[in-house]
Each structure stands twice: as C-alpha cells, then as structure tokens.
Chains A and B, each alone.
Chain A
C-alpha cells in the first residue's frame, strides 16, 4: 500500500540553523506530495506541494523537490526562526485513487533563540 516515512524527531535547533527533514514514500504511479505544518493548538496548514517529478515546492523559505528516482521529498530551510517551531508532516495523495492524504508520523521542531 501507499506509505510515507519521515524523520520523527523531536529536533531542537538554534535560530538561523539549517534544517533538513527527510521524507520518503512508497506509492504506485506518480503521487502528489505535500508538507503540512501544525502549530501548537491548531490544525494543519499546507506548507508546500509538488505534483510531478522534479517539481520544487517552496513557501516561507522552505523548499522541497519531488525526486522520483529516490522516492523522496525532503524539506529544507536555510535559516530557521523561532516562529518555525511546529510539527511537520510529509504526506501524499496517490495517483488515480481517492483524494485521501497519507501522512508520515510527523516531526516536532523546536527552534531556540
């Protein structure tokens, strides 16, 4: 079946540090890939997405590139801020099926000043 595996953390970084959160997936065909962010006490917000191979999604300084050959969609940010403290979820929607999201377990990030 379809699945997403991501770094689970928790991870603590200092402000302005470089961030990478690894995400790999298993799916048939060409799924659409997403990163969602959940701030404390809130629902999930779409951070970025990519719908085909080699697409790069970007938003708020975060980037992720859809790599079909390595079935990966790693999230990166060059310089994190305290306000980036949240839980980050990698997810996919399988091609041709129901539009349900399949999520990784999430990774909690804490950024200290």
Chain B
C-alpha cells in the first residue's frame, strides 16, 4: 500500500505568487488533515476535510489560504499571494474514518518564499 503522498516535496515561490500543495491520502482513506510546521515550532493544525466537505477549518488563516478535497483527485492546499511568513513545511495526514484516531502523515512540502 502506498502511503500518503505529497507533491511537490520542495516549492519555491516569489512573494505575491500562488502556491498549490497536493496531497493524495492512503488508499481507502477519506479524511485529510493539513498541518503547518514553522521553523523551530511544532505542527499546527490548519484544516480537516472529508471528500467534498470542509469539516474544521479553525486553524486556517482567514485570508489567502484555501483547501479542497474533491470527489476525485488529491486534496489541494492553496496559498494566494504568498509572503515570506508562509515559508514552512506543510504536512498532510489521512485517516480511515472519524474515530480511528490514527493519522498517517506524508513526507511534507517545504515551501520557501523568496
């Protein structure tokens, strides 16, 4: 079984550009979580999605950030008009169902804004 896949692994964007981060959950998993890891900090929850639904977006910045998990295809985390403070590692995790309490993480996308 393939694990959680994220691409790209490394992404460099200039200030003002858009960043699109992709996450393919483990086979059979329909729950996706996005976390952000800023330098020297732990991971912070951003958003929790099921297929075609956002369940909890309490950790998402109010502006410039959006996420989706369509019926077909990967989950996308989109950051518009990136700023230097968006530079971080973004991790996606997936779980089988709501009550499994076991989240499987991808390798992360390291975003650098220049």
Q: Residues on A close to B: CB < 8 A?
A: 4, 32, 36, 41-46, 49, 51, 89, 93, 98-106
- CB distance B105 to A45 under 8 Å? yes
Binds A, one of B13-21, B43-51, B68-76, B80-88: B43-51
Known contacts: A43-B107, A43-B108, A45-B105. The answer to whether A99 contacts B98 by CB under 8 A is yes
The verdict on B41 contacting chain A, using a C-beta distance below 8 Å, is yes
Question: Do B105 and A44 have beta carbons less than 8 Å apart?
Answer: yes
CB atoms of B4 and A49 under 8 A apart: no
**Known: A89-B42, A106-B42. Is A98-B101 also a contact (CB below 8 A)?**
no
Residues of B within 8 A of A44 (CB): 43, 91, 93, 105
User: CB-nearest residue of chain A relative to B9?
Assistant: A41
Complex Cα distance, B99 from A89, in Å, reads 21
Contact A101–B41 (Cβ < 8 Å): no
Contact B91 A43 (CB under 8 A): yes
| Cβ B42 vs Cβ A51 within 8 A | no
Q: Is the CB of B101 within 8 A of A49?
A: yes
Instruction: Kindly list chain A residues whose C-beta atoms are within 8 Å of the C-beta of B55.
Output: 98
Binding site for A on B (CB under 8 A): 4, 6, 31, 33, 35, 40-45, 48, 55-56, 58-59, 91, 93, 95, 98-99, 101-108
CA distance A49 to B35 in the complex (A): 19
Contact in complex: A43, B41 (CB < 8 Å):
no
CB-based closest 7 A-B pairs: A43-B105, A98-B56, A103-B42, A100-B45, A105-B42, A44-B105, A43-B107
Chain B CB within 10 Å, residue with most, of A46, A51, A93, A100: A100
Contact A46 B43 (CB under 8 A): no
Specify which chain B residues have a CB less than 8 angstroms from the CB of A101 in the assembled complex: 33, 35, 43, 45, 93, 103
A68: min CB distance to chain B, Å = 17
CA distance A93 to B33 in the complex (A): 13
Query: A43 — which chain B residues lie within 8 A by C-beta?
Result: 4, 6, 91, 105-108
Query: Of the candidates A51, A100, A106, which one forms a contact with B56 in the assembled complex, judged by CB atoms under 8 Å apart?
Result: A100
Shortest A103–chain B CB gap in Å is 4
Cβ-defined contact, A89 with B43, below 8 A: yes
Q: List 20 A-B contacts (CB under 8 A).
A: A32-B101, A43-B4, A43-B91, A43-B108, A44-B91, A44-B105, A45-B105, A46-B104, A51-B101, A89-B42, A89-B43, A98-B58, A99-B48, A99-B101, A99-B103, A100-B45, A100-B58, A101-B45, A104-B42, A105-B40
